[in-house]
């Protein structure tokens, strides 16, 4: 068989070929022979990766502008990355989600864990939103989109390309409608008995965070007849789930007025506006203000943005998580519950839990861990890649 005309790139002797063979999907720039030819490859180019002895390891995408210089696409070095290849990947991903959920609202593709490195696709019924966080997906967006329509039958595909991951790849932010027509209004998303409003063109990321679904459900189970505080609420994630679970009242706090507006629209769609209030402001300032006002809650949930998005920010991020825990613990009734979340992959579960426990202790409280949660099963974890298991949620009873 004739090999496709792919260039080759080669690991240095210190490169861990065994890890690649066992499923690790990345090669860092300091592990690859980066001669002039390799440095001259277009970001997103395809190449055959060889070990130091020139034995092929598979087909990779190369980005000389990124610290992650190679991402594994296919163990077959002769693979052809076309619409049929994407169709096979997406069909496998869809079969898993269709078994999990009766309604088509979920993360359809979770990057490396679904064999499409750097690619996130969230589905909102008849609308799919693609977030291509790697250069190769930008370059091959058309066959990816065509396969997505063929496999799922969605009529609208939106490209929402923004965020830190793209900047690390040397990519610009951009938004485009690839198929169909962009929705004129937020999309109602049913989840855990609640209704969320997803702004798929102007919201954060793809418009809604599906990853917290099981943690929303656990919090809802604690919320019956409870006064609930939902900090960093975005479009009402934990708060609306708590109302569906029978909460007596929910206060949702976020720094974004548009997000709080969507949260209020979700509450209206559920018919629970009488039990739902919002408050815009800096989370730390609001936590301090609530304490000064003498407010207490039976359940407090804090789901902040990533305070430690990379190793360089780890120590500062852990201090921020500790501060959140300290301020939030002061607002929890005796015997009440505090759920603390982190989406920072650089802060592993042990470090995050320890920082949270220190904060609780500094507030003069003591707590027992009653549950540890992670992302839902539509966000599979690649066991070789710790970064794919970024989300942690630890619930304390104080």
- Tokens in use for 140? 């091959």
- Report DSSP letters for 177-202, one per residue: EEES---SSPEEEEETTEEEEE-TTT
- 297-302 and 227-231 as β-strands: parallel, antiparallel, unpaired? parallel
Rounded CA-CA distance 245/234 in Å is 19
Rounded CA-CA distance 71/259 in Å is 34
CA quadruple 221, 226, 230, 235: dihedral sign? positive
CA distances to 79, 138, 247, 286, 317 from 167, in Å: 28, 13, 41, 31, 20
Report, in angstroms and rounded to the nearest whole number, the Rg of the chain calculated over CA atoms: 22
- Tokens in use for 172? 């610009």
Q: Could you tell me which of 28, 39, 35 has the C-alpha nearest to residue 70? A: 28
Q: Could you tell me which of 371, 372, 388 has the C-alpha nearest to residue 380? A: 388
CA distances to 107, 234, 243, 307, 348 from 381, in Å: 13, 24, 30, 21, 14
Which residues partner with 392 through β-bridges?
A: 342
Rounded CA-CA distance 277/3 in Å is 62
Give catalytic status of residue 343 as yes or no: yes
The answer to whether 395 and 388 have CB atoms below 8 angstroms apart is no
Cβ neighbours for 245, distance < 8 A, ≥ 6 positions apart:
193, 219, 220, 221, 222, 223, 224
The H or E element spanning position 40 is none
The answer to whether 130 and 121 have CB atoms below 8 angstroms apart is yes
70, 302, 341, 343: the catalytic one is: 343
Rounded CA-CA distance 392/385 in Å is 16
Question: Would you please indicate which residues are annotated as catalytic (active-site) residues?
Answer: 343
């Amino acid at each position: 068989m004739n090999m496709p005309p792919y260039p080759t790139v080669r690991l240095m002797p210190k490169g861990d070929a065994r890890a690649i063979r066992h499923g690790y999907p990345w090669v860092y720039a300091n592990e690859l022979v980066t001669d002039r030819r390799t440095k001259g490859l277009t970001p997103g180019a395809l190449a055959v990766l060889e070990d130091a002895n020139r034995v092929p390891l598979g087909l990779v995408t190369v980005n000389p502008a990124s610290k992650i210089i190679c991402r594994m696409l296919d163990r077959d070095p002769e693979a052809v990355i076309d619409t049929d290849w994407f169709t096979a990947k997406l069909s496998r991903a869809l079969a898993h989600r269709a078994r999990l959920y009766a309604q088509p609202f979920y993360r359809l593709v979770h990057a490396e864990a679904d064999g499409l490195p750097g690619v996130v696709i969230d589905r909102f019924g008849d609308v799919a939103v693609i977030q291509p966080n790697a250069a190769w997906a930008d370059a091959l967006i058309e066959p990816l989109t065509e396969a997505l329509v063929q496999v799922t039958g969605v009529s609208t595909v939106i490209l929402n390309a923004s965020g830190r991951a793209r900047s690390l790849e040397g990519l610009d932010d951009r938004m485009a409608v690839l198929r169909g027509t962009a929705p004129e209004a937020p999309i109602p998303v049913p989840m855990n008995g609640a209704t969320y409003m997803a702004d798929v063109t102007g919201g954060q990321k793809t418009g809604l965070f599906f990853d917290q679904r099981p943690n929303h459900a656990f919090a809802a189970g604690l919320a019956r007849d409870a006064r609930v505080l939902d900090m960093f609420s975005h479009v009402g994630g934990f708060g609306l789930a708590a109302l569906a679970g029978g909460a007596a009242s929910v206060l949702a706090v976020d720094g974004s007025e548009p997000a709080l507006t969507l949260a209020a629209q979700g509450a209206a769609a559920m018919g629970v506006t009488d039990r739902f209030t919002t408050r815009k402001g800096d989370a730390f300032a609001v936590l301090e203000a609530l304490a000064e006002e003498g407010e207490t809650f039976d359940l407090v949930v804090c789901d902040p943005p990533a305070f430690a998005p990379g190793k360089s920010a780890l120590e500062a991020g852990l201090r921020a998580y500790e501060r959140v825990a300290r301020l939030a613990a002061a607002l929890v009734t005796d015997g009440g519950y505090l759920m603390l979340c982190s989406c920072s992959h650089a802060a592993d579960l042990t470090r995050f839990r320890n920082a949270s426990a220190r904060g609780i202790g500094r507030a003069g409280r003591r707590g027992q861990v009653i549950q540890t949660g992670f992302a839902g099963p539509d966000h599979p974890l690649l066991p070789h890649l710790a970064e794919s298991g970024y989300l942690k949620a630890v619930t304390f009873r104080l």
